[in-house]
Amino acid sequence: MTTPDPTDVHPAWLPPAAYRAVGSRHTLVHGDGPLVDTVFAEVQRACAEHGGTVRRTGDGPPVQLVLALTAHRSAARPDATPTATQSGRTPNAARPGSPETAVRPGWTEAVDPGPLGVNVDAARADLAAAGGGPLGPEGFAVVRPGEVTVVLADDQAGLLYGLFQVVRLGEAAYGPPHPARVHRPAMRRRMLDHWDNVDVHPVMGQVERGYAGGSIFWRAGHPRRDRDRVRAYGRLLAACGVNAVSVNNVNVHATEARLLTDRLDEVAEIADLLRPYGIRVHLSVTFAAPVVLGGLPTADPLDEAVREWWAETTQRVYAHIPDFGGYVVKADSEGQPGPFSYGRDHADGANLLAGPLEPYGGVVHWRAFVYDHRQDWRDRSTDRARAAHDHFAPLDGRFRDNVIVQVKHGPMDFQTREPVSPVIAAMPGTRLAVEFQVTQEYTGQQQHVCYLAPWWSELLRFAPWGDGERTVADVAADGGGLVAVSNVGDDPFWTGHPLAQANLYAFGRLAWDPKLRPEAVLDEWLDLTFAPATSADPALLRRTLHQIMDDSWRSYERYTAPLGVGFMVRPGHHYGPDVDGYEYTPWGTYHFADRDGVGVDRTRATGTGFTGQYPPPWSQTYESLAACPDELLLFFHHVPYDHVLHSGSTVVQHIYDTHFDGVAEVEATCRRWEWLAGLVDPTVHARVTERLAEQLRCAQEWRDQVNAYFHRKSGVPDAHGRPLH
Amino acid sequence: MTTPDPTDVHPAWLPPAAYRAVGSRHTLVHGDGPLVDTVFAEVQRACAEHGGTVRRTGDGPPVQLVLALTAHRSAARPDATPTATQSGRTPNAARPGSPETAVRPGWTEAVDPGPLGVNVDAARADLAAAGGGPLGPEGFAVVRPGEVTVVLADDQAGLLYGLFQVVRLGEAAYGPPHPARVHRPAMRRRMLDHWDNVDVHPVMGQVERGYAGGSIFWRAGHPRRDRDRVRAYGRLLAACGVNAVSVNNVNVHATEARLLTDRLDEVAEIADLLRPYGIRVHLSVTFAAPVVLGGLPTADPLDEAVREWWAETTQRVYAHIPDFGGYVVKADSEGQPGPFSYGRDHADGANLLAGPLEPYGGVVHWRAFVYDHRQDWRDRSTDRARAAHDHFAPLDGRFRDNVIVQVKHGPMDFQTREPVSPVIAAMPGTRLAVEFQVTQEYTGQQQHVCYLAPWWSELLRFAPWGDGERTVADVAADGGGLVAVSNVGDDPFWTGHPLAQANLYAFGRLAWDPKLRPEAVLDEWLDLTFAPATSADPALLRRTLHQIMDDSWRSYERYTAPLGVGFMVRPGHHYGPDVDGYEYTPWGTYHFADRDGVGVDRTRATGTGFTGQYPPPWSQTYESLAACPDELLLFFHHVPYDHVLHSGSTVVQHIYDTHFDGVAEVEATCRRWEWLAGLVDPTVHARVTERLAEQLRCAQEWRDQVNAYFHRKSGVPDAHGRPLH
C-alpha cells in the first residue's frame, strides 16, 4: 500500500490496482473512432502500469482480451427469447429490455483468434445469428469462448462500457469459458445534474447544496479550466454508466444565465472534455432568458419574437456543441421565472424550448418541482405534497416528444423517507425522468456515512400500480431515464466523505440496471476502490465496509425525523436537527406536533386529500391508518403519541427507541472503522475518522433533541428509563 | 415643506429649519480654538440660511446671542450648593454632579454687551463669584440677563455643546430673562461602538448587526473616505452629546486587526474628521495582536516581549493620533482570543493594554461579555446569566485606573426585557461602563418602530441596592460612562428606519443626562427633526409621533418573547420569531417550555442560583415567586401555565392577550402614520410606511407563532376564543 500525496486527487473507483487484470494481459482493440481511442488509451495506461500489451492490429503476443466494434448492426429479432442467467436476478429480470441477458449458448464457439487475435467478423455474425439482437448504441456483449475474452459492441460507447465491465470483473473476466452475456442499459439517459454556480452565490456558495468543496468547472466567476480534473471525472462517470451531465445549477442566476449565450464557450470546453467518455452536456437555462439575455420585453412562450429568440439561440448552441444534450429548466419554482408570469402553463413553457431542440435531437428536462414556497403555515388545507401532481397531471399528453418532465422521487424534497411521488403514476402520455439526490442535502451532507443505494433501490422497485405491475424503474426506463444531483466538488476525495463516492457510483450503476442489489453494487465499488484482493485482511475489509455501509441509510433514518414525517432540520442549510425549524415557515413542511400527537393528515377522509393522487392500491393503503406502512405513518396521518404501530410499539416509544438505536449504530460504525486502520489508505482513513466523529456528535444531537422535544410535548417517559432531557 | 432628493443624505435632527432661531439672529462667537471654529462655522451656516449674522469681533448689529469661552477656570467651590430648577426633574436631580444646575440668581446681571457685544470677563467673574463652580471641560452655562442670550464655557467642547443647547431651545432661548443655567454631562464618556468591518464578513456583512446599509467608514476592504458623511455624523453626535466613537467591530477579524498597525492611517483620518466635533476615536483590537500582527510566539499578558510590543504599538498610535481614546477589547468571548489561553485572568489581560495607554490618558474598554457559547443545552446547572458576574466580580479592585470594564445592561444580551446585570452592583472598586444597544438587534432591526429611551431610562433609574440608593446611572457616571452599539450606516436616513434616528439621539441625551424623561427627549428630537412649528398641523404631528413612539418598546415586548424569557428569535440573524430556535443550541439561551410550564429557574432554592448574584433587596425580590415582577417572571422562575400573575391573568392567557394586544397596537400605529401623509417629508413618509408594513407582517408572525406554540404545548384555549392555530 502506498501513501499518496494528500493533495493529489483521489482515484475513487479507478485506481491503478483496479486495472491489474486488464493491464497485465495482451489486448487487441478493434475499431475506429474517438471513443475507441479512449478504450485503447485506457488499456494502454493499464498496461504501462501492469506490464501487459495492447495493439490495434498486427502481430504480437497471443491475445487474451479483445475489445471490438461490430461493423454492422442487425435489426432486432422478435423471435429471440433471452433468458435470465445472472445469479441473484429477480424473476422479472428477463423481460425484454432488461439490461443483461444471455443469448443462446453455442454461437460463441465460432469466435476464433484469427490473424488479428480473434475473428471478429465471425463473432459478430454469430452473435446476430444466435439472436443476441442489436446491442444498441450503448450495449455490449462479453463472451469467453475459450482462452480469450471478447467484448463486442455495435457502437463506440458500448465498447467503452464493455471495457469498464471487464475492469469491474477483474480476474473473473478470464475464468472458465462462458457464452455471450449481453448488457444494455435500462435507462437511455443516465444523467447527473450539477448545481454548480459560476459566481460564488452569497448564500449558496460555489455549489448549491455542495458538500465537497468548490466546483470542478468554475471558481469565483471564472472557468477553472482544470482539464485533467474534468477528464478524470468523465472517466469515473463512464465507468459507472453515466452518459449525461448538466453543468450548472437549476437556479440560474445572472452570470450563469449567460452560459447560454456569450459564455457558451465555457460549456463547449466541458463538452469537449467529456465527449471522449460518451457523456453529453446539458445546460440549465432561465425561462426569462429572452428578457435577461435577449433584451425582449417578454418571455411569453406564445410570443413570436420569443420563439424566434429561442430558435436562434439554440441554433448557435448547436453550432458550438453539435452533440449538445439539451436544456434543464426549473420554472415557476422557488422564485425562478416561468410561464405562469404570462398566464401560460408548463406545457406551453416546456414546448417552447423543446421545439428548437428537436431537429438536433436535444431534449428539455422540465422539472416538476413546482409548489408554493410562500405558503401560510396557518392554513392546513394547502399541502405542498399535492403540488407537483396538481400542476402537472392535468397536462399529461400536451408535452412534445422531446420534453422530459423531471420528477423528484418523492412529493416533498429528497427526504430520507418519503412515499414515491404520485406524479410518476399520473402521466402515461408524458416522458418522465425520476430525479434522485446523490448530494446528501438531507441525508448527512457527506459528513455522515449514508449509503443511498438501498433507498434508491426501494424507490426503483416500487410498483405504483401494485405488485406485479410496472415499477418506478420501468416508468423511467420507458420515459426520460434517471437523473440525480451530483455530489462531486473539487475536494481531493471528490465527494468530501470518501465513502460518499459509493453513492455516485451506485447511482450510475442503478441507472444502468435498476435491478442490481445494493449490496452487489457496494461489492463492485469496494473491489474497485479498495482492491481487497491486495489487502492484508480482505475478508475483514469487505465485511467491515458492508457492516458500515449496507444499513447506514436506515441508521440515519432512525436518528433523524421519525416515521416519514421529514424535515426537522435546521432551516436554510438543512444540517442537524431543529424539530420546529420549519414548523412555522412558508415552506410547506410541517409536522403539527402538539401535546397530544404528531403527523400530517393527508387522507381524503379528513385531511388534505393527497392520498387520492395515487392509483389503487396505494390510494387505499395510504388512506388507511391500519394499512399505512409504519415508516410513512406520520407522512399520511396525524396520530396520538400512544398510537400502536405494526411493530407493536407506540409512536412515542418508537421515537425514543429508534433514536437510541440509531446513535448506537453510529457508535458501532466508529469502532468498526477503527479496525480498518492499516487496511485502507491512511489519508482515506483519516478523513473518514474525522467525519465519523462529526457524525456521532450530530447523531447524538438528533437523538437528544428529538427525544427531548417529544418528551416535553407528550410528557411520556421512556419505557426503559433512559435520559430524555 | 420642500421635497429633498431621495438620494441625499437625510439631515436627521439637524435640518436647516432647526437652526432658524439661531440663524436669524446676530451672534458673537468669542474665543479661539478648533472647536470654537466649529461653533462659528455652524452659526455661519445657519445665518447663510436664515439671514442672521455672526462675527468673532468688531462692530456689527446689536448682538442677540453670545457664545464665549471663559478665559480661566476656577477651582470647584465646596460651599456652592446648587439647587434644582428645571421643571420635571426628579427630587434627586440636585445631587452634586447632576448635569444641570442653576447658580444663584443675580450674578448674571453683570453681563453687559460691551464693545464686543457682551462683557465676557464680567460674566466669567460673576459666574465664579456666584458659585456656579467650574463648568468643566464639557459644561456650559446659558444665561439671559436681558435681551441677549449668553453661553459661557470654560473649554471649547462646552461651547459646542452650549451651541447645540441653544439650537435645541430654538425661539425659547430668546424669551424672558433668566439666570444662568449650568449644564454638565453626567457621564464623562458618552460613547458609540461601531461594529463596522473593513472587509465584508461572509456572514455578518459590512456592519455586524447593522440594519442601515454599509459602513460610513469602510466599504469592501477599503476606507470609503466620504469625508462629508463622517463630518455630518460628527455634527449629529455632538448635537446629542456623544463624545467618543469606537470605529470598528469588537469581533476583530484579520483585516480589521491591522487598523492598529499598518492601517492606522485610516483611523487617523476618521479622528481628524471627528475631532472638530469634540469626539475622540477609539479602536477595537484583538488580544492576539502581538501574535497576528507582531509575529510573537505568544500574547501572554505577563510575557515581557508582549508588554514591549503593546508599549511600542501604543506609542506609534499616539504619534499618529495624539488624542486617541483607547482600546476596546472583546476577549475570551464567542471565539475571540483572550488571556484564558495563557492561564491568565481578565485583570491581567486588561492591565496589559492599560499600562501603555496610561501616559497618554487613554483607556481600555474591556468587555465583561464573557460566557461559554458552547454550552450543553442538556445541562441545566450551567447558566449563561451567571457568567459575567462569575468571571468579573472576583477581580474587583485588580484593574488599573484606566481600565473600564464595559458591562452589558443585562446578564444576557440586549434583550427587549432583562433584569439589570448583577455585575453593576458587584464591582465597587472598578470603573464600570454600562453598554446599551442602539442598533436594534433584538428589538426589530430598524424594521420595527421601537423607541428605546423608555427602556434605557428604566435601566438607568434602576437602583441595584434598593430605592433611594445609587442608580445604574450613578454607577456609570462615577465609573466609565455609557456606551452603546451604533445603529448608523450608509443608508440615506442613517438608520434605515427614519424613526430609529430618535434612538441614537436619545442615547446621547440620556448619557448626558440620565434623568431626562423619554417623552421630553422625544419632544426635543421631533422639534429638531420635524420642526412642528412650521407644520400645517403641529399638534397632530406632535401628538401622533408620541402615540406612535412613546409606547412602541412596550408594544414590541408584548408581541415578542413573553415575561422576560427572552430570545425566541430566529437563530443567527435574530429577526422574527422562532420559539424553539435557541432551545437546543449551545448558546445558553433557553426557555424550557414543556407541556406543563415554561421559564428558567434561576433561584437559589431550586435553580441556578443566579438570584444570589444580586445584593438585597433584589436577591430576595427575584428569588420570591410572589415578589418577582411579572415582566421578569420567566427570567427567574419556571412556572406552570396556569400560574396567576400579579396582573390577575394566568401565564398562558397573558401570553395570548399581550400578543393580540401588541399586534393591535401596531395596527393602530399604521393607521396613525397614514394621518401624517402631507405633514412629514414624503420620502420619510414613504420609507416609514414601507417599514410599518413589514412590522405588521412580522408582529402577526410573532403573535401567531408564539400563541400557536403555547397553545399546542399547553392545550389551553384562549379565554376569548380567538384563533390560536
Q: Which of B111, B33, B156, B62 is nearest to B52 (CA)?
A: B62
For B290, half-sphere exposure in the C-beta direction (CA atoms, 13 angstrom radius) is 24
Q: What is the pLDDT of residue B87?
A: 33
State the pLDDT confidence band at B59, using cuts at 50, 70 and 90: confident
Strand partners, A364: A327, A403
Least Cα distance to A568 among A540, A529, A535, A598 occurs for A598
Give pLDDT, residue A306. 98
Distance CA B160, CA B163 (A): 5
Asked if pLDDT for residue A94 goes beyond 60, the answer is no
Which of B582, B595, B641 is best to mutate for the A interface (most A CBs within 10 A)?
B595
Average pLDDT, stretch A121-130? 65
Residue-by-residue DSSP string for B513-540: -TTS-HHHHHHHHHHHHH-GGGSSSHHH
Say if residues A461 and A385 touch (Cβ distance below 8 Å). no
Nearest Cα residue in chain B from A569: B581
In this structure, what DSSP letter does residue A395 have?
G
At A95, the pLDDT band (50, 70, 90 cuts) reads: very low
Select the more confidently predicted residue: A81 or B401: B401
A 10 A CB-CB count for B222 gives 10
Which residues from A are below 8 Å from B715, CB to CB? Answer: 594-596
Residue B8: what pLDDT? 86
Q: Which residues of A touch B377 (CB under 8 A)?
A: 725
Q: Is the pLDDT of residue B109 over 80?
A: no
pLDDT attached to residue A380: 92
Q: Which residue of A has its CA nearest to B202?
A: A202
**What CA–CA distance (Å, rounded) separates B26 from B212?**
39
pLDDT band (50, 70, 90) for residue B58: confident
- b/e map of B437-460 (b: 16 or more CB within 10 Å)? bbbbbbbbbbbbbbbbbbbbbbbb
Q: Where are the beta strands (DSSP E) in A57-135?
A: 65-69, 100-102
Task: Measure B705 CA to nearest chain A CA, in Å.
Answer: 7
Catalogue all structural domains in chain B, each as residue range(s) with its CATH number. Answer: 16-183 (3.30.379.10), 190-530 (3.20.20.80), 556-600+638-714 (3.90.1330.10)
pLDDT in tens, A215-259: 999 999 999 999 999 999 999 999 999 999 999 999 999 999 999
A712 contacts B594? CB cut-off 8 A: yes
Q: pLDDT by residue (tens digit) across B548-565?
A: 999 999 999 999 999 999
pLDDT at B669: 98
Q: To the nearest whole percent, how much of chain B has pLDDT over 90?
A: 88
Of B580, B704, B705, the CB nearest to A579: B580
Q: Compute the distance between CA of residue A560 and CA of residue A704 in angstroms, rounded to an integer.
A: 10
Q: CB A584 to CB B714 under 8 A?
A: no
Encode B201-218: b = buried (16+ Cβ within 10 Å), e = exposed.
beebbbbbbbbbbbbbbb
Question: Looking up cell 484564558, which residue turns up?
Answer: B340
User: Does the N-terminal peptide bond of residue A617 adopt cis geometry, omega within 30 degrees of 0?
Assistant: yes
State yes or no: pLDDT of A4 exceeds 90: no
Average pLDDT over residues A607-615: 98
Q: Where in B495-615 does DSSP place strands (E)?
A: 597-598
Q: Tell whether the model's pLDDT for residue A91 goes beyond 70.
A: no
Q: Is the distance from CB of B668 to CB of B661 less than 8 angstroms?
A: no
- In a mutagenesis test of the B interface, which of A203, A382, A584, A707 is the best target, namely the one with the most B β-carbons within 10 Å? A584
Query: Which chain A residues contact residue B200 at CB under 8 A?
Result: none
**Each residue's pLDDT tens digit, A330-375:** 999 999 999 999 999 999 999 999 999 999 999 999 999 999 999 9
Active site residues of A: 334, 413, 441
**What average pLDDT does the structure give for chain A?**
92
Which segment of A88-97, A503-512, B400-409, B570-579 scores lowest on mean pLDDT? A88-97
Between B131 and A426, whose confidence is greater? A426
Residue of chain A whose alpha carbon sits nearest to that of B380: A725
pLDDT value, residue A7: 56
Average pLDDT, integer, range B289-299: 97
Nearest to residue A327, comparing CAs of A284, A265, A274, A263?
Answer: A284
> What gap in Å lies between CA A456 and CA B237, rounded to an integer?
64
Query: Does the pLDDT value for residue B80 go beyond 70?
Result: no
- Has residue B540 got a pLDDT over 70? yes
Average pLDDT, chain B: 92
- Residue A575 distance to chain B (closest CA, Å): 13
Closest-CA distance, A712 to chain B, in angstroms, reads 4
Burial class (CB in 10 A: 0-12, 13-18, 19+), A2: exposed
Q: How far is CA B444 from CA A507, B447, B504, B566, in A?
A: 47, 6, 15, 14
Rounded CA gap, A708 and B170, in Å?
62
Contact B305, B297 (CB under 8 A): no
pLDDT of B385 over the 50 cut: yes
Helices (H) and strands (E) in chain A, counts: 21, 21
**C-alpha to C-alpha distance for B239 and B256, rounded to whole angstroms:** 29
Q: What are A538's three cell numbers? A: 480482505
Q: Which residue of A382, A712, A724 is the best one to mutate when testing the B interface, meaning the one whose CB has the most B CBs within 10 A?
A: A712
Residue A121: pLDDT above 70?
A: no
The answer for residues whose C-beta is within 8 angstroms of residue B531's C-beta and 6 or more apart is B15, B17, B18, B20
User: Is the predicted pLDDT of residue B635 greater than 90, yes or no?
Assistant: yes
pLDDT exceeds 80 at position B129: no
Per-residue pLDDT, B112: 41
Residues of B in CB contact (< 8 Å) with A are 377-378, 570-571, 577-581, 584, 593-596, 701, 704-705, 708-709, 711-715, 725
- Pairing between strand A65-69 and A149-153? parallel
Residue B132's pLDDT is what? Answer: 63
Counting one residue from A and one from B, how many pairs have CB atoms under 8 Å apart? 61
Q: Give, to the nearest 10 degrees, the angle between helix A227-240 and helix A156-169.
A: 80
pLDDT grade, residue A131 (50/70/90)? low
Q: Which residues of A touch B381 (CB under 8 A)?
A: none
A435-460 mean pLDDT: 98
Residue type, A681: D
Query: Cell numbers 482493440 label which residue?
Result: A29
Identify the pLDDT of residue A303.
Answer: 98
Check pLDDT > 80 for residue B475: yes
Q: Tell me: pLDDT of B516 over 90.
A: yes
pLDDT of residue A341: 95
Model pLDDT for residues A165-185, shown as the tens digit of each residue: 999 999 999 999 999 999 999
pLDDT band (50, 70, 90) for residue B711 = very high
For residue A120, what pLDDT is reported? 60
Residues B713, A594: C-beta atoms closer than 8 Å: yes
Predicted local confidence at residue B671, as pLDDT: 98
Number of Cβ within 10 Å of residue B637's Cβ equals 25
Q: Would you say residue A209 has pLDDT above 90?
A: yes
Judged by CB atoms closer than 8 Å, whether chains meet at A713 and B594 is answered as yes
Kindly tell me if the per-residue pLDDT of A687 is higher than 60. yes
Window from A486-490, B4-8, B688-692 with minimum mean pLDDT: B4-8
Nearest 5°: the CA angle A297, A334, A424 is 110
Q: Where are the alpha helices (H) located in A92-155, listed in sequence order?
A: 120-129
Of the candidates B584, B704, B711, which has its C-beta nearest A705's C-beta?
A: B584
Place of cell 439472436: A131
- Per-residue confidence at A105, pLDDT binned at 50, 70, 90? very low
Of A113-117, B485-489, B701-705, the least confident? A113-117
- Per-residue pLDDT of B204-249, as tens digits, reads 999 999 999 999 999 999 999 999 999 999 999 999 999 999 999 9
Q: For residues B280 and B259, give the distance between their C-alpha atoms in angstroms, rounded to a whole number.
A: 16
pLDDT band at residue B519 under the 50/70/90 scheme: very high
Which pLDDT belongs to residue A316? 98
Q: Mean pLDDT across the stretch B592-597?
A: 98
Backbone φ, ψ for residue A190 (5° rounding): -125, 100
pLDDT at A562 > cutoff 90: yes
Query: What is this structure's pTM?
Result: 0.89
- CB environment A146-174: b (16+ within 10 A), e (fewer): eebbbbbbbbbbbbbbbbbbbbbbbeebb
pLDDT bracket for residue B72 (50, 70, 90): very low
SS3 track for B357-371: HHHHCCEEEEECCCC
pLDDT in tens, B413-444: 999 999 999 999 999 999 999 999 999 999 99
Instruction: Tell me what percent of the residues of chain A surpass a pLDDT of 90.
Output: 88
Q: Kindly identify which residue of chain A lies nearest to residue B700, measuring between CA atoms.
A: A378
